[in-house]
A and B are shown apart, each in its own frame.
Chain A
Amino acid sequence: MKKLLILCTLGLLMFVGSCKKNTPEPDLCLPVIGDLTDIEYNPTDYNLDIPPGFPMMPIPPDNPLTEEGIELGRHLFYDPILSADSTMSCFSCHNQSDGFSDINALSVGIDGIEGKRHAMALINIGYNIGGMFWDGRSNTIEEQALLPVEDPVELHDTWENVECKLSRHADYPAMFRAAFGITDKSLITRDLVAKALSQFQRALVSSNSRYDDIVYRNLDFFEDDEQNGHDMFFDLATGFLPDAECGHCHNKPMFTINFQNYRNNGLDNPPNINSFPDLGRGEVTGNQFDNGKFKIPTLRNIALTAPYMHDGRFQTLEEVIDHYNAGGHGTYNPGVEPDPLILPLGLTDIQKQEILAFLHTLTDTTFLNNPAFSNPFE
C-alpha cells in the first residue's frame, strides 16, 4: 500500500512537472520607468529603392520606413529576447542564408514542438498585401508580427514579459526612442515592436537575380534551356512548347500574385471538402470552399527555400514540378477538386528540366549575403 502511494505521488509529480514544461514561466520581470527625452529623436527617412520592373511598395502611413526603425527591427528580428527562454527569435525559422525561410519542413518552437506548417520565406514581403501566413489570418505584417511571440509552438512568451524585458534592456529603450520618439522606457509596447519588425521586413527586397538582369536591366541573356522554361512558364512559346500554366499564380515581377492568392493546388484528396488534413484558408474565412486553399508563395529564390508547400512535403523542385505536371492527383473526390488551373500539363522530361533551369534564374545571392539584412549580434 505504501509502495503504491509513493508510486502514485511520484507519478503525480512527474505529471505536474511535465505540465509545467508546456506553460511558460518567464523570469519575473519588473517593469521600469525611465525618462528618455534627453536622447535625440530625429528619425531619418529610409530610401527604399524601387528596383527596375517593381511597383511602388505600399507603406502604411502610420509606419513609415526610417533608418532607425529598420535598424531596431533588425535587432529585434535576430534577438532571442522575444522568446520565453531566450533561445529563439524570428531568424530561427527565417534564416537569411536560406532565403529567410526554414530548412525544416515544419518549424519547431522553443518547447521542441513542431508547428503544423512550414515557415514562409520572407522575400519581398512588403509587397504582399493579400494577407500573411499560409492561411492569411493576419492582414498586415504588423498584425502578423504580434502572433509568434505568444504562440505556444513558436516563441511561447507573453507580450507583457517581452515589453518588460525590452524596457529593462541596456540598449533597446534608446533605440525605441530614436525610432518612434517614446519619452519613457515604460512606453515600449508590442505595437511598436511589431512596427519595427515590419519595417525591417519591408526592407527585405530581392531584385538582383539573373532574371532581373535579363528582363529588367538588359544586362544578360537566358541560356536556351532557361529561355524555353521562361516561355513555357508564361505561355509565350506559341505553337511549339506547351503552356506550363505557372504564370497565372506566379506572375512577374514578384512571382506570386497579390490578390486571389489562396488556391487549392491539388495536394490532397480527402473524402470530402470538410476533411482536408489542414483546412488552410477555410479555417480563417469559415467558407468550406476555402478549405484546402493556401497562400501562393513567391518563387524568387525558390531554389534556396526548400522544402516546399505549406507542410514542406516536397524536398526538391523536381518533385514540385512533377506534382504540377501531373495536374496534382489527377483525379479528385467530388467537392475537393483543386483550382481549375491545376491540370495535367504533359511536359516532357526535357521540358521539366527547362522549367527548372528557368526557376534557377530567380536566385538572388546578393539578398542572402546583404549585410544590411544580417544578424547584428554576430
Chain B
Amino acid sequence: MKQWSLCLLICCLFFASCKKDKKECPIPETPGITLIFKGLFNGEPLILNNEYTYSNGNKLRISQLEFYISDVRLVKNGVETPILDVGLLDFSVSHNEECSAKAGEYIEIANIPDDTYDEIRFGIGVSPTLNATVPEDYLATHPLGRSVNHWSAWNSYIFAKVEGRSDEDGNGEFENNIVYHTGNDIMYREKSISTTITTKSGTHTPISMVVDVLDLLSDGGNSIDLGISHSSPLDSAAVETAVFIMDNFDTALRLE
C-alpha cells in the first residue's frame, strides 16, 4: 500500500512538473485586425539560429528575418479601404524560441470599419511615396524611423532582410555569411490574398499568414547560391538575387 502511495506521489509530481513547462505565447486579442506572420523554414517553425537544411543539402542558420509591408487595404467587391500605411515585421525577438515563433510576429490595426471583406492587399517593401522619405523624418519609434533599415547607397529603405550563416563545405563550421538585403522602388511588390474578413467594432479579427524563408531563397527550380548581395551597386548581378527574393514573396507569403 505504501509503495502504491509513493508511486502515486511520484506520478503527481511528474505531471505537475510537466504542466509548469507548458509555455503559452498568446497573441493579444486586441479589438481590430491583427495581421499575424509566422516564420517558417521548409514548413517548420523558423527559430532563429537553429540549423536547417538548404535546398542543396548544406546546413544553414537564419539569424534575422525582417520585411516591411505598406499600403494595407481591405477589399470588398473591388473597393479598397486603406487600413495601414506602413508596418515592419521584425522577427528577431518573436522567433528566438519555439513558443513565440509558433505564435508569430504581428501588427495590430485598430478602427476598422465594420463590414465583411473578401480580400486583403498590401505591398511588400516600402511604397514609393514613403520610400522617398528618410528615417530622420520620423521619431525613432516609427517603423520608418529605424536608421538600421535605410541604405543611402540605394537611397532607399531596406525592404527585406534575410541574414544568417551557412556551412558550404560540410565541415561543421558556418563560415559563409548570408546577408540578403533588398530595396529600391524597383523591388516593391504587391500582394493580394483572397479570404473572408469580417470586422465588427470591439472584436478581435486575426488574419494569420506564414512566410517560408526557404521559399524566399528558392523557387523550386532555382535556388540562390548563398553569398553576399546586400550592398552591391544597383546595376550589378547582385540585384537579380534581391529581385528574386522579392518575387518569391508571392509564394513564400501565404495564408496559414
**For the complex, is A56 an interface residue (Cβ under 8 Å from B)?**
yes
What is the bound-complex CA distance between A120 and B172, given in angstroms? 37
Contacts of B137 in A (CB 8 A): 55
Residue in B48, B92, B141 whose beta carbon sits within 8 Å of that of A260 in the complex: B92
Residue in A245, A258, A337 whose beta carbon sits within 8 Å of that of B147 in the complex: A258
**For the complex, is B189 an interface residue (Cβ under 8 Å from A)?**
no
Contacts of A254 in B (CB 8 A): 147
**For the complex, is B169 an interface residue (Cβ under 8 Å from A)?**
no
B231 and A243 contact, CB distance less than 8 A: yes
Q: Which residue of A lies closest to B138 (CB)?
A: A55
**For the complex, is B42 an interface residue (Cβ under 8 Å from A)?**
no
With A55-B135, A58-B139, A238-B233 already in contact, the answer to whether A334 and B148 are too (CB < 8 A) is no
A289 and B173 contact, CB distance less than 8 A: no
B140 and A127 contact, CB distance less than 8 A: yes
State how many residues of chain A have any CB contact under 8 Å with chain B: 37
**For the complex, is B211 an interface residue (Cβ under 8 Å from A)?**
no
A251 and B231 contact, CB distance less than 8 A: no
**For the complex, is B38 an interface residue (Cβ under 8 Å from A)?**
no
A287 and B135 contact, CB distance less than 8 A: no
What is the bound-complex CA distance between A67 and B246, given in angstroms? 50
Contacts of B235 in A (CB 8 A): 238
**For the complex, is A261 an interface residue (Cβ under 8 Å from B)?**
yes
Residue in A247, A257, A334, A340 whose beta carbon sits within 8 Å of that of B152 in the complex: A247
Chain B, range 76-132, C-beta contacts under 8 Å to A: 90, 92, 96-97
B165 and A260 contact, CB distance less than 8 A: no
Residues of A at under 8 Å CB distance from B?
Answer: 53-56, 58, 127, 129, 234-236, 238-239, 243, 245, 247-249, 251-254, 256-261, 287, 289, 331-332, 334, 337, 339-341, 343
B231 and A235 contact, CB distance less than 8 A: yes
Q: How large is the interface on B (under 10, 10 to 19, 20 to 34, 35 or more residues)?
A: 35 or more
Contacts of B64 in A (CB 8 A): 260
**For the complex, is B49 an interface residue (Cβ under 8 Å from A)?**
yes
What is the bound-complex CA distance between A56 and B137, given in angstroms? 8
Q: How distant is B108 from chain A, measured CB to nearest CB, in Å?
A: 19
What is the bound-complex CA distance between A131 and B201, given in angstroms? 36
Contacts of B151 in A (CB 8 A): 235, 247
Q: Which of B92, B147, B150, B152: most chain A Cβ within 10 A?
A: B147
Q: How distant is B171 from chain A, measured CB to nearest CB, in Å?
A: 9
A-B residue pairs in contact (CB < 8 Å), sample of 19 = A55-B135, A55-B139, A56-B138, A56-B139, A58-B139, A235-B151, A238-B233, A248-B148, A251-B148, A253-B136, A254-B147, A258-B146, A258-B148, A259-B140, A260-B92, A287-B96, A331-B175, A337-B174, A343-B228
A129 and B140 contact, CB distance less than 8 A: yes
B139 and A251 contact, CB distance less than 8 A: no
**For the complex, is B153 an interface residue (Cβ under 8 Å from A)?**
yes
Q: How distant is A310 from chain B, measured CB to nearest CB, in Å?
A: 19
Q: Which residue of B lies closest to A341 (CB)?
A: B179
A251 and B136 contact, CB distance less than 8 A: no
Residue in A239, A258, A260, A334 whose beta carbon sits within 8 Å of that of B233 in the complex: A239
B146 and A236 contact, CB distance less than 8 A: no
Residue in B136, B146, B179 whose beta carbon sits within 8 Å of that of A340 in the complex: B179
